A and B are shown apart, each in its own frame.
Chain A
Amino acid sequence: GAGVSQSPSNKVTEKGKDVELRCDPISGHTALYWYRQSLGQGLEFLIYFQGNSAPDKSGLPSDRFSAERTGGSVSTLTIQRTQQEDSAVYLCASSFGTSGGWVFGPGTRLLVL
């Protein structure tokens, strides 16, 4: 597609459940980023993938969060045993290398009840 797509667009889950968030980057973009946007807060870095290099996972807030990128394309962010403080908009972006312009997806709005 022409842009970055994310699914689902909205997710409501119960505390303690696991959720999977998907990101389809722009074809050919080698870099992929996950950020989290909480109400009243700036965007917070979560994880970065670049080609076949090991990802930088230093922004993941706890070991309940994990992410993978298959075939250098689609990425999945998994949150296990969700907590209410995980409620946020999860944004994915991609770029052609880190010097290329970033293109963000529309985000997944996660609400943990």
Chain B
Amino acid sequence: TQLLEQSPQFLSIQEGENLTVYCNSSSVFSSLQWYRQEPGEGPVLLVTVVTGGEVKKLKRLTFQFGDARKDSSLHITAAQPGDTGLYLCAGDGGSNYKLTFGKGTLLTVNP
């Protein structure tokens, strides 16, 4: 069974601070997705990383896929209250549809 561990589980910071959340596994994934979920809504896809060592930037968000394709990180620069939400990582073990999700990091950015 593939597992994805996300850390930290909870993170509360002030507006303007930087932060990094992690997604780790002992399993290799063919790709990994990051989502943000707000209360009462479904997850919204932020990015998909496919190649080991890949780095993708989405405005103030930087996503990295580990060289061995077992882990990933999300770095947010100068966090804003609008970044508040549950950040989920999801790994594809090769099926393209049976994703393994982490339990998420609940981020609160205080103004």
Contact = CB atoms under 8 A, between A and B. Distances in A.
A and B from one assembly?
Answer: yes
Interface of A: 4, 31, 33, 35, 40-45, 48, 50, 56, 58-59, 91, 93, 98-99, 101-107
Chain B binding surface, main DSSP class = loop
Contact of A101 (B48, B90, B96): B48
Nearest to A50: B97
Given A98-B97, A106-B40, A42 B45 contact: no
B99 A45 contact: yes
A43 B97 contact: no
Contacts, number: 51
Contacts of A50: 97
Given A50-B97, A93-B42, 16 more contacts: A31-B97, A42-B4, A42-B102, A43-B90, A43-B101, A44-B101, A45-B98, A48-B97, A48-B98, A91-B43, A99-B96, A101-B45, A102-B45, A104-B42, A104-B44, A106-B41
**Most A C-beta atoms less than 10 A away, residue of B40, B42, B95, B102:** B42
Contacts of B49: none
Interface residues of B, number: 22
Contact of A56 (B4, B44, B97): B97
A40 to B, nearest CB: 7
A48 B99 CA distance: 11
- Kindly name the residue among B88, B99, B100 whose own CB sees the greatest number of chain A CB atoms within 10 A: B99
24 contacts: A4-B42, A31-B97, A35-B101, A40-B103, A41-B103, A42-B100, A42-B103, A42-B104, A43-B99, A43-B101, A45-B98, A50-B97, A56-B97, A58-B98, A59-B98, A91-B42, A93-B42, A102-B33, A102-B45, A104-B35, A104-B44, A106-B40, A106-B41, A106-B42
